[in-house]
Amino acid sequence: MRVSIVGSGYVGLVTGMGFIKLGNDVVFIDIDDEKIKMINQATPPIYEEGLEELMKEFKGKYYATKDYHEAILNSDITFICVGTPSGEDGSIDLTYVKKAAEEIGKALREKEGYHVVVVKSTVLPGTTEEVVKPIIEEHSGKKAFEDFGLAMNPEFLREGVALRDFLNPDRIVIGVKDEKTRQILEKLYEPINAPKLIVDIKTAEMIKYASNAFLATKISFANEIGNICKRLGIDSWKVFEGVGLDHRISPNFFKSGLGFGGSCFPKDVKALIRKAEETGEEPLILKAVIEVNEKQPLKLIGLLKKHVPELKGKTVGILGLAFKPNTDDIREARSIIIVEKLLEEGAKVIAYDPKAMKNFKRLFSQIEYANSAQEVLEKTDVILIVTEWPEFEELDYSGKIVIDGRRIRSAEKTAKIYEGVCW
């Protein structure tokens, strides 16, 4: 099939390259000239494992353009993969989704045949039918589910393993209303061997939120139990090993520590809270999930002060800035809260991250950045571990005070003083 993808950010690029790997042709639509240029030179504008290799391998099977008309006339199905950032109050900002719908609508005016539009961006229940549909209809002069198809197909990609997740998902959720669209999407996903759940559009939208909210809840729950365990002198990781053996619970995604960051969990849980409140519900669990998560990095600072009561003028080393390993992404990273707090206390910070320092420098130009983790160890005796990059396992922490938010076993073994956040 010929697929067009609106928005060549993280989700768009990975989805597009995934469809290419499945044998389709893809055209990326973006407003950013620099991104278009990079994609057309087979250079990924973001870092994601395996993406560059795939872009080089399949050069010629895809291109990027600014021109919606050309892209839509030359494709059978269009995925909206633009960002849905969080507004100040936690509500989601639909500016990019609306703009995409408008441009798609205008282009569809001239298109013959049954074109299918699929919303992949994370949008709250009701958005596809109440916001996207009327905009496309207005600008195309056509009717959804009769003249063109409309569907919602959430993504469940984890950064760092996104291509693998795309090609080997736990499930594919397809939210549709009309039979024709259903058949087209089923055909597109046919090569992927995974359960395919066909639901209505609103349900698909909700599955994405409920999944992310559940995973975020699991982490905040692990942290709450972890905090209690810490007080009682119990290793919470051992506890979750035991708990996770219950097949109804599963041991995955059960690591207590500093809490969750990233572009999805905090944003999606907050948006769901707001939506719930709009409907008159009070989402008690979801609010607690956010509250626990916001307090968790401060636990690390609390433990640090137990061993180094006066932080003013003290140099504190930070290992890891990215919100998780194998990414350069620092959105909602725990490191941000931790560095802010350290600076507030008058500490000097020296940080190292294998991939995320460039992004972090844009937020914090006033701290020192080391060229290696070893350099951090050479320059200070007080180390905070914030992201569990594998290379931090290789270090010898002898003579150091280590406060660990992610459980690096070599630090646990070799440090002079070692404290884990939840163990």
Closest separation in Å from C-beta 110 to ligand UDX: 34
User: 51: which 2 tokens?
Assistant: 């993406």
Closest separation in Å from C-beta 222 to ligand UDX: 6
CA distances from 211 to 156, 167, 171, 423 (A): 9, 19, 12, 27
User: 403: which 2 tokens?
Assistant: 């406060």
Which of 81, 229, 264, 422 is an active site residue?
A: 264
Q: Which is nearer to ligand UDX, 140 or 212 (CB)?
A: 212
Q: Which is nearer to ligand UDX, 259 or 283 (CB)?
A: 259
Are 12 and 47 in contact, with CB atoms under 8 Å apart? no
DSSP state of 259: -
Q: Which is nearer to ligand UDX, 108 or 264 (CB)?
A: 264
Closest separation in Å from C-beta 215 to ligand UDX: 6
Binding site membership: which residues? 30, 35, 84, 122, 156-159, 208, 253-257, 261, 267, 324, 331
Instruction: Give 11-71 as a DSSP string.
Output: HHHHHHHHHHHTT-EEEEE-S-HHHHHHHHTT--SS--TTHHHHHHHTTTSEEEES-HHHH
Binding site membership for NAD(+): which residues? 30, 35, 84, 122, 159, 267, 331
Q: Which is nearer to ligand UDX, 73 or 357 (CB)?
A: 357
Binding site residues, ligand UDX, CB under 6 A: 155-159, 212, 215, 219, 253-255, 257, 259-262, 264-265, 323-324
Task: Assign 199 to helix, strand or coil.
Answer: strand
Closest separation in Å from C-beta 173 to ligand UDX: 12
DSSP state of 78: E
Nearest 10 degrees: Cα torsion 280, 285, 288, 289? -120
Q: Which is nearer to ligand UDX, 144 or 386 (CB)?
A: 386
| The one-letter amino acid at 170 | D
Are 267 and 92 in contact, with CB atoms under 8 Å apart? yes
Are 154 and 166 in contact, with CB atoms under 8 Å apart? no
Closest separation in Å from C-beta 233 to ligand UDX: 22
Instruction: Give 129-171 as a DSSP string.
Output: IIIIHHHHHHHH---BTTTBEEEE----PPTTSHHHHHHS-S-
Residues found in the chain: 423
| The one-letter amino acid at 370 | A
Binding site membership for substrate: which residues? 156-159, 208, 253-257, 261, 324
Closest separation in Å from C-beta 122 to ligand UDX: 8
CA distance 387 to 353: 8
Q: Which is nearer to ligand UDX, 133 or 407 (CB)?
A: 407
Beta-bridged to residue 382, according to DSSP, are: 401
CA distance 107 to 37: 23
- What is the enclosing helix (H) or strand (E) of 236? helix 236-244
Beta-bridged to residue 319, according to DSSP, are: 352, 385
Asked if 81 is an active-site residue, the reply is no
Q: Which residues are catalytic?
A: 264
